[in-house]
């Protein structure tokens, strides 16, 4: 049972047993939970220094009721046994540092690279605990910022379209007329065009369907600044895909900064300022092209395990089972 994320309720149903009673029997008698050496502090943190490796990921996840935990995993384990290095309650840098410093310095100094997001607490914790490691900002979080900037502009135009339609409806009523919205070539109204363009703006243009190509053409014809924002987002992705060295990426990013500055899109200027703040850790991606995908994958496995357990009522026991599988 420890090596398979199946709940006692599922097992009990299969064997026609009382799942709750089976869980209590497993917790107190069958498993080794009562003798677990981390039980006393499990609700606050669990730590497995022996699982540390040269390449780590750090991320956050929610167990229950939006209770956040910081997770440190070893990439070499590929999400299997030996992957879990630490789980620490909360995301405050001081708490993370306090727990991670329980790992012998000799082991911490062996870490060469840590992938993470742009959270200041994560950056500070990695900087203090793994002094010899390169910090690598996950490319997904950088590109998502650019996508969010595009979506912000789309939403702004959508609200304007809604206001214009509401005013037109009000004017028509005042005249005793029936308001008839304009219908575009693809059958959308203007506000529908802006609402239904959400997903195509996340995709590369080469992956658009025929209906999305028509919708994009109608959208960009009416909102050229949205077209400009979309292609700025694409160019950032191209830098990540095509550049092979930090030097090449540095030059391409500088040119991309110039394009953003020449544009009139304020949300992208915020993206540039954020990228500049994390410049060194973003460029470290081009050393080994490391991403935080392993942490996201582990997070997905944890959520699946949580779902199979029908939520998390007893956090220490849940973490005990999680540790048996992944630590």
Q: Please spell the DSSP secondary structure of 75-136, one letter per residue.
A: GGGTTSTT-EEEEEES--HHHHHHHHTTS-HHHHTT--EEEE-S-HHHHHHHHHH-TTSEEE
Mean pLDDT of 140-155: 94
| Cβ atoms 74, 42 nearer than 8 A | no
The 3-state DSSP class for residue 290 equals: coil
| Cβ atoms 139, 239 nearer than 8 A | no
Within a domain: 254: yes
Domain containing 54 — which CATH number? Answer: 3.30.420.10
Within a domain: 101: yes
Mean pLDDT of 136-151: 93
63-72, 192-201, 263-272: range with highest mean pLDDT: 192-201
Residues constituting the chain? 327
Q: Please spell the DSSP secondary structure of 40-69, one letter per residue.
A: GGTTTEEE-GGG--SEEEEEEEE-STT-EE
Q: Per residue in 5-19, pLDDT tens?
A: 455 555 555 555 555
Whole-number Å distance between alpha carbons of 242 and 239: 5
Within a domain: 53: yes
Q: Per residue in 35-65, pLDDT tens?
A: 788 888 988 999 999 999 999 999 988 877 7
Q: Per residue in 79-93, pLDDT tens?
A: 888 889 999 999 999
Check whether residue 134 and residue 149 sit in a common domain: no
Check whether residue 248 and residue 313 sit in a common domain: no
Q: Per residue in 241-274, pLDDT tens?
A: 999 999 999 999 999 999 999 988 989 999 999 9
Higher pLDDT, 177 or 94: 94
Model confidence at 23: pLDDT above 90: no
Check whether residue 151 and residue 266 sit in a common domain: yes
Check whether residue 148 and residue 89 sit in a common domain: no
Average the pLDDT over each of 24-38, 206-220, 260-274 and give the range with the smallest value: 24-38
Provide the number of structural domains found in the chain. 2
Check whether residue 118 and residue 149 sit in a common domain: no
Within a domain: 12: no
Average the pLDDT over each of 71-75, 206-210, 320-324 and give the range with the smallest value: 320-324
Check whether residue 183 and residue 278 sit in a common domain: yes
Within a domain: 11: no
Residue-range definition of the domain harbouring residue 195: 139-287
List the 45-47 sheet strands across, edge first: 45-47, 84-89, 68-74, 55-62, 113-116, 134-137
Within a domain: 90: yes
Mean pLDDT of 289-314: 75
What pLDDT does 56 receive? 94
Within a domain: 19: no
Model confidence at 185: pLDDT above 80: yes
Burial class of residue 12 in the structure, from the number of CB atoms within 10 Å of its CB (0-12 exposed, 13-18 middle, 19+ buried): middle
Check whether residue 283 and residue 150 sit in a common domain: yes
Check whether residue 155 and residue 250 sit in a common domain: yes
Q: Per residue in 96-143, pLDDT tens?
A: 999 999 999 999 999 999 999 999 999 999 999 999 999 999 999 999
Check whether residue 120 and residue 240 sit in a common domain: no
Q: Which pLDDT band holds residue 4 (cuts at 50, 70, 90)?
A: very low
What pLDDT does 3 receive? 45
What pLDDT does 7 receive? 55
Check whether residue 146 and residue 260 sit in a common domain: yes
Segment (H or E) for 315: helix 315-326
Q: Which pLDDT band holds residue 316 (cuts at 50, 70, 90)?
A: confident
Higher pLDDT, 240 or 34: 240
What is the overall mean pLDDT for the chain? 87
Mean pLDDT of 175-193: 90
Check whether residue 126 and residue 152 sit in a common domain: no
pLDDT exceeding 70 applies to what percent of the chain?
A: 88
Model confidence at 22: pLDDT above 80: no
Check whether residue 96 and residue 121 sit in a common domain: yes
Within a domain: 174: yes
């Amino acid at each position: 049972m420890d090596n398979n994320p199946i709940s006692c309720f599922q097992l009990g149903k299969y064997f026609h047993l009382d799942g709750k009673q089976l869980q209590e029997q497993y917790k107190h008698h069958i498993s080794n939970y009562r003798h677990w050496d981390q039980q006393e502090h499990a609700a606050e943190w669990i730590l497995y220094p022996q699982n540390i490796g040269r390449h780590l990921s750090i991320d956050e996840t929610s167990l229950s009721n939006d209770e956040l935990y910081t997770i440190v995993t070893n990439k070499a384990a590929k999400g299997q046994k030996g992957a879990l290095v630490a789980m620490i309650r909360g995301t405050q840098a001081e708490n993370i540092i306090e727990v991670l410093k329980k790992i012998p310095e000799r082991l911490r100094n062996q870490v060469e690279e840590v992938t993470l997001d742009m959270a200041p607490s994560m950056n500070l914790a990695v900087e203090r605990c793994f002094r010899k490691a390169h910090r690598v900002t996950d490319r997904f979080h950088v590109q998502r910022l650019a996508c969010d900037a595009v979506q912000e502009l789309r939403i702004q135009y959508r609200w304007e379209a809604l206001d214009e339609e509401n005013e037109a409806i009000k004017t028509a009523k005042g005249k005793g007329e029936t308001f008839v919205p304009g219908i575009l070539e693809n059958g959308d109204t203007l506000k529908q065009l802006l609402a239904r363009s959400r997903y195509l703006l996340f995709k590369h243009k080469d992956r658009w369907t025929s209906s999305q190509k028509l919708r994009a053409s109608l959208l960009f014809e009416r909102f050229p600044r949205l077209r400009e924002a979309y292609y700025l987002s694409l160019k950032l992705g191209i830098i990540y895909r095509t550049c092979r060295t930090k030097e090449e990426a540095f030059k391409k990013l500088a040119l991309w900064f110039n394009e953003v500055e020449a544009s009139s899109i304020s949300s992208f200027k915020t993206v540039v300022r954020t990228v500049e703040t994390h410049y060194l850790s973003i460029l470290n991606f081009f050393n080994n092209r490391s991403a935080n995908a392993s942490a996201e994958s582990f997070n997905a496995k944890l959520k699946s395990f949580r779902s199979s357990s029908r939520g998390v009522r007893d956090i220490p026991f849940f973490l005990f089972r999680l540790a048996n599988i992944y630590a």
